[in-house]
Amino acid sequence: MALDRWIALILAGICLAYGYTAWFTMDGSLAPFMKRNPIWPSTFPKVLSVIGLLASLVILLGLEKSESSEPDIDYRRLGQYNLGQALLLLALMVAYALGLRPLGFLFSTAAFLILGSFFLGERRWVVMLPVSLIATFIVWYLVQQVLGIYLRPLPGFIGG
C-alpha cells in the first residue's frame, strides 16, 4: 500500500476515535438547559470527524487519483527537499507556543510571522514588517474586542 493510503488509514482511525468521542461521550455531560440548544459544544467536532473520515475514505479508495501515477513527494528522496526549512519552521512553531504566555500575544505573534517569512525566503523587510505587524494587531483586535476572549497583549514584566 502506498504511503498516502497508510496516512489516510491512520487519519481514518483518528477521525473514528474523535467522532466516537464527539457523538457519544461529549453530550452526556451537558447541562439540562443546553440540551435544547440547536448547536451544542460537540457540533463542530462532529462535523470535523465526518469530513475527516470522508476525506480519508476518498484517499483509501483511490477516488482522488488522476491518470498520472507519479507521486508528488518521493519519501526516498527527502534529502533533496527543503527539509531544513520545514524543521526550522516547526521549531519556530514550538518556540511560539512556549513564548506566547510569557512574551504576550503581540510580540510573540509578530516575531513568529516575521521570522517565519524570513525562514521561508522573504527578504523584503519593507513588506514583511508592516504586513506582520498589521496582521498581528488585526487578529488580536478581533479575538480580544470582537469575540471577547482575553489575550495577554504584552509581556508579563511590562504589565500585560
66: left (phi over 0), alpha (psi -120 to 50) or beta: beta
* pTM for this model (two decimals): 0.55
What is the enclosing helix (H) or strand (E) of 43? helix 43-61
The tally of CA atoms less than 13 A away on the side-chain side of residue 37 is 12
Query: Which pLDDT tens digits describe the chain residue by residue (160 residues)?
Result: 678 888 999 999 999 999 998 888 877 777 777 777 777 777 888 999 999 999 999 988 888 776 666 666 666 776 777 778 888 999 999 999 999 888 888 999 999 999 999 998 888 899 899 999 999 999 999 888 887 778 777 777 676 5
Angle at 113 between CA 111 and CA 118, to 5 degrees: 95
Instruction: Compute the residue count for the chain.
Output: 160
